[in-house]
Amino acid sequence: MISIDFSLAISLYIILILSAILFLWIFTRRQKEKDLSLDPKFIWHCSVCTYTYINTKEDTITICPRCGSYNKKT
């Protein structure tokens, strides 16, 4: 009887720990996804063809991948 109760207690403890780890993992992952969301300054709108593209390398002038025209940040 004692051994059954003990193993039940151990399994309950393990389940509790695992659910806590899972909860923390999901919580931190959601926060990371929020941090990884794209910065608005990297989103460029072409003034010639109105094409929306992403450029994280340059911050003053970028070249539109569709029409090849230069775009300056306003």
Whichever of 28 and 65 has its CB closer to Zn ion, that residue is 65
Q: From CA 72, how far away is CA 74, in angstroms rounded?
A: 6
The stretch near Zn ion (CB under 5 A) out of 4-12, 17-25, 32-40, 45-53 is 45-53
Amino acid at 15: I
48, 54, 56, 58: which one binds Zn ion (CB under 5 A): 48
6, 59, 67, 70: which one binds Zn ion (CB under 5 A): 67
Residues that bind Zn ion (CB under 5 A): 46, 48-49, 51, 64, 66-67
